[in-house]
């Protein structure tokens, strides 16, 4: 049997840790390879680690063909959906996979719109994603599949968390991304640190977990709303107007203090959750 390994395809999903690979190897040696490897023609799509271990130890394995693949994008989407359903995948990994899915679907939607413009007949309605396409056009990608809510549900994370992961992908230095993957820093804290210049991100990573958490805390403090500057009373204000002005200023200061306290409570809650996660 000729099985082809595509290195970019094998690297498309984050590799197993040393502990996970060792556990898989023990399982295959004890129980054999129970799940079939998935092929597209002679290209291996799913089961790279199992295939390597089976080859190393001479363990028999089965293969199955996926007849639905037409393009490499189809392969990538299948791999993404397959891994999103696995419990062992971290929140960050699931978020990254969901965002990759969004990129593929968005590119496919753009291609559909371009093809629709080229093949539209005189009586065809305007191209609208998510609606049934006429026979002369390709099927449209539903817009709901590109919404943050839909992607977050598929990744089993909140919309806010998915937004933070997207920010990390766009702005975080590679070293900071690795810190998130390894669990040194939380997604929430990494998103805050990612707003810093790259040299400050690298300095925080080099300082370890404590320095990363402090950098995230400083970013959050800097985002607190400033206290409003007090406005002077009118020069010709009467005693009653001065009293009203003073009371209004006190109310404004109390509202600003309340808002800052809310932000600080949120930060403390996040810090407590991160500390509990580290203990677990």
Residue 64 phi, psi dihedral angles, 5° rounding: -135, 150
Q: Quick one: which of 50, 266, 41 has its CA closest to 160?
A: 266
Residue 179 has a pLDDT of 94
Over residues 96-122, the pLDDT tens digits come to: 999 999 999 888 888 877 877 777 666
Q: Which residues contact 124 (CB under 8 A, 6 or more apart)?
A: 134, 136, 137
Query: How confident is the model over 217-242, as a mean pLDDT?
Result: 79
Asked if the model's pLDDT at residue 126 lies above 70, the reply is: no
Question: Rg of the chain's alpha carbons, rounded to an integer?
Answer: 27
Query: Which ranges in the chain belong to alpha helices (H)?
Result: 7-10, 18-31, 48-57, 72-84, 91-119, 148-155, 159-171, 174-181, 187-193, 198-206, 208-222, 239-279
Q: Which residues of 46-57 are buried (b: 16+ CB within 10 A; e: fewer)?
A: bbbbbbebbeee
Residue 278 has a pLDDT of 53
What gap in Å lies between CA 82 and CA 102, rounded to an integer?
15
Beta carbons of 209 and 185 less than 8 angstroms apart: yes
Asked if the model's pLDDT at residue 55 lies above 70, the reply is: yes
Over residues 128-164, the pLDDT tens digits come to: 554 544 444 444 455 556 788 889 998 999 998 999 9
What gap in Å lies between CA 58 and CA 41, rounded to an integer?
23
In the structure encoding, which two tokens stand for residue 36, read together? 């079939």
Return the bridge partners of 63, or none: 37
Q: Which residues contact 113 (CB under 8 A, 6 or more apart)?
A: 127, 129
Q: How many residues does the chain have?
A: 280
What gap in Å lies between CA 95 and CA 170, rounded to an integer?
13
What gap in Å lies between CA 157 and CA 95, rounded to an integer?
7
Over residues 238-266, the pLDDT tens digits come to: 888 888 888 888 887 788 778 777 776 77
Residue 44 has a pLDDT of 96
């Amino acid at each position: 049997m000729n099985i082809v390994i595509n290195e970019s395809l094998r690297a498309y999903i984050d590799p197993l840790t040393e502990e996970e690979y060792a556990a898989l190897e023990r399982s295959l040696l004890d129980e054999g390879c129970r799940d079939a490897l998935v092929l597209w023609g002679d290209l291996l799509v799913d089961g790279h680690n199992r295939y390597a271990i089976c080859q190393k130890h001479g363990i028999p394995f089965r293969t199955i063909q996926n007849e639905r693949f037409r393009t490499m994008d189809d392969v990538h989407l299948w791999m993404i959906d397959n891994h999103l359903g696995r419990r062992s995948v971290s929140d960050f990994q699931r978020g990254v996979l969901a965002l990759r899915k969004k990129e593929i679907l968005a590119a496919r939607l753009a291609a559909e719109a371009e093809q629709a413009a080229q093949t539209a007949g005189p009586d065809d309605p305007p191209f609208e994603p998510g609606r049934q396409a006429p026979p002369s056009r390709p099927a449209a990608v539903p817009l709901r599949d590109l919404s943050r809510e839909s992607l977050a549900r598929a990744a089993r994370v909140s919309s806010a968390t998915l937004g933070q992961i997207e920010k990390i992908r766009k702005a975080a230095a590679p070293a900071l991304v690795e810190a998130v993957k390894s669990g040194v820093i939380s997604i929430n804290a990494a998103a805050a640190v990612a707003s810093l210049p790259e040299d400050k991100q690298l300095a925080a990573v080099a300082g370890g977990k404590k320095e990363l958490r402090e950098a995230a805390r400083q970013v959050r403090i800097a985002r607190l709303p400033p206290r409003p500057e007090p406005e002077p009373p009118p020069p010709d204000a009467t005693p009653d107007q001065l009293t009203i002005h003073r009371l209004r200023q006190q109310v404004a200061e109390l509202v600003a203090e309340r808002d800052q306290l809310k932000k600080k409570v949120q930060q403390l809650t996040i810090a407590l959750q991160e500390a509990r996660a580290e203990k677990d």
